[in-house]
Amino acid sequence: MTPPALIWFRHDLRLADHPALTAALAGGGRVLPVFVLDDGAAGQWRPGGAARWWLKGSLAALSADLAARGAPLLLARGRAETVLPALAAATGAAEVHAGRVTDPWARDQARRVHEALADAGRALHLHTTMLLREPHLVANGSGRPYAVYTPFAKAMLAAGEPGIPLPAPAAIPGAEPPAGGEALESLGLYPVPGEPDWAAEFGARWQPGEAGAAARLARFTAAAIGRYATGRNRPGIEGSSGLSPHLRWGEVSPRQVWHAARAAGGSADIETWLKEILWREFSHHLLWHRPDMPDQCLRAEFRDFPWRADAALLAAWQRGRTGYPIVDAGMRQLWRTGWMHNRVRMIAASVLVKHLLQPWQDGAAWFWETLVDADLASNSASWQWVAGCGTDASPYFRVFNPVLQGEKFDPDGAYVRRWVPELAKLPDAVLHRPWEAPAELLRAAGVTPGATYPRPLVDPAEGRARALAALATLRGARGAA
């Protein structure tokens, strides 16, 4: 009799285009699907609160999809290198199939699982489930990792189109699970006992799971992708895909979204969207080769940057009380929905690290806790890009002016008025700079600067000047940028 195989779900919570699942089924035996919550291995990079809300919903959806095909999902909690060998022994499985994860802690985890299984005469097989191509297989002409996005993207495109996505199996012959699996509620993902239900509004916007990912992808390719090049920069409209949390949890694969975009046509808007997929790939490429990226500036000279860590300034930014309407709108959107528009993420991040001179790691930590799409590679790479300390970073002199950015990308004020309603009655001309509004306009709109809405924590011009002064203290900063 053919021994069963374990399929270990990690950051790939779907059934379609799942090479690890396909390989597990190819052996011809029964399959035991497993998810292991291993917070001990993840350490400080265990999913944040918003991500745990999403994970709970995603696991519920995956469990239902697997059960409908004949192989219920076994949930477990503990160290993967202990749990998986024990399950393999209990079921007689000779092989464990899983997707490769680029996070440093997950690489260490996979190594330990491999060693533990090998000691028992069993094997771990890792497959490409969360990226188009594995980072260690993409190199420049000298055989070295890429440090700059543009040549990386060109190399990825030159390598040819990604493979055609695999179909979801119609049926999965399930192996008898051993006793002792966890109930979803017992994993303690969300809500945390004794804590308020701060994610109460998430469900109105999001549908975790493979079906939710497919529906969102279909809506995006049918409507918004045709105007993506301009629409993606307008936070007041539905111009972006909203697929980031689905990609982060692997409810849809990058091959699926790539080919769905190609099928939608050949416009410049679609090419712009595909470049975003390649930026995600580049972020994982950087993390694979620079596992210190979540904590350390990739440019060594920036490790001496004269930050002015201030808990009060950080808290004001976190709560959407900076006095810059576009930033405050974004931070409030983040808290209410677990997501923030990408253009606004850049503006908000720039204000924190440049105008307020707060460490980028503090901003990244807040995003890690509050984003449903919190991805270690993308979060770290993007914060380093804004701070100017990444290998391919925003130029040192680029300091986003939050007023001009708001006026340019939210010209009719739709975004600010939605998330900062205390400013809703101000006319467009002063909406993004309420501290400059004439007294009569402020009275008519019911706005009292410093009372009903805060004054800016720092004047935009002053913030830019002191950011440049701080950057000028770094040896080689200009050349690095």
Structure tokens at 271: 């090419």
Please name every residue paired with 33 in a beta bridge, in sequence order, or none if there are none: 7
Find out whether the peptide bond into 191 is cis, omega within 30 degrees of 0. yes
Amino acid (1-letter code) at residue 224: A
Of 208, 214, 284, give the one whose Cα is nearest residue 252.
Answer: 214
Which residues have a catalytic role annotated? 276, 279, 307, 342, 360, 383
Amino acid (1-letter code) at residue 52: R
> How far apart, in Å, are the Cα atoms of 275 and each of 153, 342, 353?
7, 14, 26
**Buried b or exposed e, range 288-298, using 16+ CB within 10 angstroms:** bbbbebbebbb
**If you ran DSSP here, which 8-state letter would residue 473 be given?**
T
Residues 321 and 454: beta-carbon distance below 8 Å: yes
Q: Which residues contact 217 (CB under 8 A, 6 or more apart)?
A: 241, 243, 246, 252, 256, 257, 260
**If you ran DSSP here, which 8-state letter would residue 174 be given?**
B
Distance CA 51, CA 378 (A): 14
Of 405, 421, 425, 231, give the one whose Cα is nearest residue 327.
Answer: 405
Structure tokens at 157: 């495109």
Contacts 24+ apart (CB under 8 A), 42-47: 42/103, 42/105, 42/106, 43/105, 45/103, 45/105, 45/294, 45/368, 45/376, 47/374
Describe the strand order of the beta sheet including 95-99 as a list of residue ranges.
74-77, 31-37, 5-9, 95-99, 123-127
Please name every residue paired with 98 in a beta bridge, in sequence order, or none if there are none: 8, 126
**Buried b or exposed e, range 110-120, using 16+ CB within 10 angstroms:** bebbbebbeee
Distance CA 285, CA 279 (A): 10
